[in-house]
Amino acid sequence: MIKRLRFATRRKDVTASDFLAAWSAAVAAAVDTPPGVRPVRVAVCLTLPGLSGPGRRHDGIGIEWFADAGHLQRFTEWVGTPDGQRLVGKADGIAEPDASPVIVAEESIVRGAEWLEQRWHGGGSKLKHMAVAVRASGLTPGEFSRAWRGRAGQIRRPGAAEVTVIPDEARGRAYVQNHPQPRTAGEWAYDAVNEVWFDDLESLRTRIAWFRENLSGQAEADLVRRSWFIAAREEVVMA
């Protein structure tokens, strides 16, 4: 499955409450695209400021799923039409363009596929812990992607020679890696986006505390140059 992840950073002249309402409406607008263009699933994420920690980079995330590259291409072409521009323009004026990147990625469900299937069909909202990262210097995108797949469920503490397995209580209900697709020119804003889902706030806090204790706010230097965590509430717009 291919995912289009839209990160939004609120403009300073837009209030938090106005942003929440406008961003939710902007993401939901994808449901109104024509058949054959419309994504197969849409979800909106709204950042939880008090849990995302220092350096929080985004206030909202919109996620659209596409069956294959051709499906995404049809959607992208339609967005370029006048009707498409009117629809996506709903996000204009609430997000800082230079701080609101789009990532197109291949979804890799590492753990919890059955739980996720039930989650999408059940709809509603869930809590989610996300991380975005920029790869370490010296790694190509392909090398980073392979190394990241091999690191799933583990971290390397600063200065440690061996990796540490993430304990069950901090692993969440499902874990997905999103690997940005190859580009012929330029770089994506992030080389990695992951997602971990939780049923309740206590479990989410447990993961946040474990990572704070074991990474101490530092990136895994052998894998990433910079990374940030995002705590969010995810709402299914279209399953």
User: In the CATH hierarchy, which fold is given to the domain comprising 2-238?
Assistant: Alpha-Beta Plaits (3.30.70)
User: Quick one: tokens of 178?
Assistant: 């999103």
Which pLDDT belongs to residue 166?
A: 92
CA dihedral 93, 96, 98, 102 (to 10 degrees): -80
Question: 149 in helix, strand or coil?
Answer: helix
Structural element, H or E, at residue 23: helix 16-28
Q: Position of tokens 């580009």? A: 183
Provide the CB-side half-sphere exposure for 135 (13 A, CA).
Answer: 18
CA distance 44 to 86: 19
What secondary structure letter does DSSP report for 32?
G
pLDDT value for 55: 66
Residue 122, both tokens = 């059940």
Residues in the chain predicted with pLDDT less than 70, given as ranges, are 53-56, 217-219
| Residue spans of alpha helices (H) in 80-219 | 82-88, 113-122, 141-150, 201-215
What is the rounded distance in angstroms from the CA atom of residue 41 to the CA atom of residue 31?
9
The pLDDT score that the predictor gives to residue 217 is 62
Predicted TM-score (pTM) of the model is 0.93
Distance between CA 194 and CA 179 in Å, rounded? Answer: 9
Give the N- to C-terminal CA distance of the chain in Å, as an integer: 14
d(CA 91, CA 7): 11
Q: In the chain, what are the domain boundaries? A: 2-238
Range list of β-strands (E), the chain: 2-8, 41-47, 60-66, 102-111, 125-135, 154-155, 164-165, 174-180, 192-198, 224-238
pLDDT at 86: 79
